[in-house]
Amino acid sequence: QTMLDHSPKLDLTQLDRLHDQSILSAAQFDLPLMREIMKLAAYMQLRKFESGHALEDKILAAAFFEPSTRTRLSFESAMLHVGGKTLSVADAKTTGVAKGESMRDIGQMFNSYADVVVMRHTAQESVQDLCEYLRIPLINGGNGSDEHPTQALADWYALMKWRPEIAFGKLPEKFRLNIGIIGTPGNMRTVKSFLTLALLFHENINHITIFSEMADPLGDEIREMTNSSPITIDFSRNLEQSLEYLDVIYMNAIAFLGDGYRFLGDAFSLSNQSQLKPDTVILHPLARGPELSTDLDATQHNLYFNQADGAVWLRQALLIAIFGRVRHVVPREFIA
C-alpha cells in the first residue's frame, strides 16, 4: 500500500498554508501539513498527475553561494518539470557577492528578476538577512550549519514511500522504528532538520540513537526540542553494537562548521560486511565519503538514491503549493 491508498484525498486547507510562504526551517512543518505535501509529491511521481504547465508563468532563481549538486539541480529540474523557468547562480564568484555586494541589493534584484528564490549560503543568518528585503518567497537550500529543510522533507518522503504507516497509521509497538543518526544535530544542517521532522512521528518511533564522537552532539537549542519529545533519545560511539536493532540509519559525511567544511571520515561506516538487519534502510543526503561503501548501492538497504530521486518530486510539490497552484494539477475528485 502507498500513502495514497491510506489517504487518497488531498486536504487543500493544509496545502494552502504554504501559499506565498518562505520555507526557512523544518520547524514550520507539522504532521498534517507533512502528510499533504508528501501526498501531492506522490500523486505527481507515482500517479503521474499532469503538471507540465502549472508554473509556466513563474521564474525560480537558484542562488547558490556554496557548492551543491543535488539541491540546486533538483530544484531546477522540479521547476522545469512544471513548466517554469530558472535562473541560476552556481558560484558566488560570478556575482557581485565577490565584490562585497549587500544582501539588501541582492534581494532587490531577486524581486525584479524572479518569483521565488532558493538560496544556499555559508552564513546561518543569510536567510533572515535576505528575507528582510525580499517580497517573494525564499526557500532555504542550506544556511551554514543551521538548516536544510527541503532535504529533510525529501528524507521523510523516501521513508513514507518505504513505510507509509509512519505518517498514515499507527505501527504496533514491536514495529515502531528505531532510528540511528550518525552526525551532530547541533552543527550539521541536514541532521538537525531531519531530527526536527522525526520528532513529529513520535507515535511510530520507538527510539533514536545519535552516533557521534562529540561530547555534546545536540547543543542547547536541539536539547530543548528533544527534551519535550516523548521519543527516547540516546547516544553511542559504537555503531556495530547497535546494528541489530536499527531499522533506519541516517548518515552524513560533511559538516559545515562556520569556518569551512569538515569531513567526518569513517569513524562510523557501513559496507556490505556490516551486520545490518535484512530490512534496515540507509539514508544519506550525499555527497558521500568513505563512511558509505558503494558496495551497498545494489542492496535493499539503499534508500539514498530513492531519497535523491524523490527530492525532485517533493520540491515540485512545494513549488506548486507555494504558488497556490495545487488546483491546477489535482483533479477535483482527489480533493477532500
Is residue 252 part of the contact set for ligand CP (CB under 6 A)? no
Strand partners for 255: 262
Is residue 263 part of the contact set for ligand CP (CB under 6 A)? no
CB under 8 Å to 161, separation ≥6 — which residues?
2, 3, 42, 306, 310
Residue count, binding to ligand CP (CB under 6 A): 10
Calpha distance 91→67 (Å, rounded)? 7
CB under 8 Å to 105, separation ≥6 — which residues?
96
Shortest Å, Cβ 254 to ligand CP: 8
What is the dihedral sign for C-alpha 13, 16, 17, 18? positive
Calpha distance 150→85 (Å, rounded)? 20
Determine the 3-state secondary structure of 10 from DSSP.
Answer: strand
C-alpha cell of residue 187: 552543527
Is residue 217 part of the contact set for ligand CP (CB under 6 A)? no
Determine the 3-state secondary structure of 203 from DSSP.
Answer: coil
Contacts 24+ apart (CB under 8 A), 97-101: 97/65
Binding residue for ligand CP (CB under 6 A) from 35, 58, 70, 81?
A: 70
CB-wise, 51 or 143, nearer to ligand CP? 143
333: DSSP letter: G
Is residue 4 part of the contact set for ligand CP (CB under 6 A)? no
CB-wise, 304 or 323, nearer to ligand CP? 304
Binding mask 22-61 for ligand CP (x = CB under 6 A): ----------------------------------------
Residues 268-327 that bind ligand CP (CB under 6 A): 285-287
CB-wise, 69 or 300, nearer to ligand CP? 69
CB-wise, 39 or 148, nearer to ligand CP? 148
Contact window for ligand CP (CB under 6 A) among 54-62, 66-74, 132-140, 205-213: 66-74
Site residues for ligand CP per CB under 6 A: 68-71, 142, 148, 151, 285-287
